[in-house]
Amino acid sequence: SKDGGLTWQVVQPTLAGQVDTHPETLDPYTYVEEDSGRVFDIDLYGENLAVGLPVGAFLSWSDDEGATWLTSTVSIPGLNDHQTLFAGPTPIGNPLLKSVDPRFPEVLYYCVNQVADSWCARSINGGLTFTMGATPAYLGADPETNDVVCGGLHGHLATDSAGRLFLPKGHCGDPWLAISEDGGDSWTRIQISNKIRAADTQMAVAVDSADNLYYVWFDDIHHLPYLSISRDHGKTWSAPRMLGPPGVYEVNFPTIAAGDPGKIALTFPGTTVNDQSDPSRPWNSYVVISTDALSSDPTFVSNISNPANDPVYRGACLGRCGRMFDFLDVVISPNDGSVWATAVDTCTAKTGCPTNPKAASDDMRGIAIRQISGPPLIGTGACPGKANKCK
């Protein structure tokens, strides 16, 4: 989109402008590295689609907003599932790990769930080839959790200005974070909280411009969102703070982005109806913003992005929330500091769901959410929506 999300054009990778170079996908994912502007498109593929066993991924990237693409494949030996792709500078603990791509001066990381564990690989040539890290970020059966089988499903990767890697995970019912300072060769695992447990494996972490960390999850009892903050690169964490907007009884899959110090944005589906057995229970797509999250008494402002009479889901939003799955994200524009988010609308006119509470919430439509007023989270001044950077 070149008009603020009003209209969209297809620019997915093709060969000679005709053949789709990603002929299949078991998990679609895109990523834009902000400093270089390089756009990545990565789709899991499987040897045997009949049984759904992903063994690698098609990876394409573009330096001209999708006009032209280069394509390669990436695979970590064994099962490749729920991939995450992210880039960062040369890591503080491995100064020889440097990019050799002059157009992409960062190290690119690809991490996957292998059920038995969680592994990451890295590329120093912008995605052409990858090298495995020396050890897994998580073990499926972990001595730190008394060898209980926790699986390898994790959240999405983040990096800081020193190239540290942060991979969040709901590990055996608790929020954990795996940290690497050497590009994924070794990992330290930190339990964020032993009091507020996690409802799922999909945790989220973000890093602000001063390298403060923000970790969000939803609890296993009330399914409400919690935030914990680290000011020492993940070694220690603040007491969890509940961030549910007034009147919200339950959320699912909160995710987070960070801009300048203390400036964060979250998004999640949430409901104001306190009856889990109600098949017409409406869910809205929330965005929450704070500009002083590091203060002792921070303020959080929330709103829904969908019309109040047109929910994005109805019913019990447990697990992957019907056909919403986990295709939810939030980012902060480096151009003007505005917040962008994505959601999935499963309650569309196709099934009559918005006006008929008894209709099935069984469609899938992607939503792009854009902040049009309010404070920017990068820079100063009221400039969201403008093309120039906030000053």
Task: Please report how many Cα atoms fall inside a 13 Å half-sphere around the Cα of residue 217, on the Cβ side.
Answer: 32
Residue 389's pLDDT is 42
Residue 391's pLDDT is 37
pLDDT digits (tens, 9 = 90+) for 40-67: 999 999 875 555 678 899 999 999 999 9
DSSP class of residue 1? -
Residue 382's pLDDT is 53
| CA 369 to chain centroid | 15
> How far apart are alpha carbons 185 and 189 in whole angstroms?
13
HEC string of 18-45 equals CEECCCCCCCEEEEECCCCCCEEEEEEE
Residue 390's pLDDT is 41
Q: How large is the average pLDDT for residues 220-237?
A: 97
pLDDT digits (tens, 9 = 90+) for 77-103: 988 999 999 999 999 999 999 999 999
17-25: long-range contacts at Cβ-Cβ below 8 A with a sequence spacing of 24 or more?
Answer: 21/58, 21/60, 21/69, 21/71, 22/58, 22/60, 22/71, 24/49, 25/58
Q: Which two tokens stand for residue 53?
A: 């066993």
Q: How far is CA 285 from CA 18, 164, 279, 293, 367, in A?
A: 36, 31, 18, 21, 10
Q: What are phi and psi of 337, to 5 degrees?
A: 75, 10
**For the whole prediction, is pTM greater than 0.85?**
yes
Cβ-Cβ contacts under 8 Å for 20 (sequence gap 6 or more): 12, 13, 14
End-to-end CA distance of the chain: 25
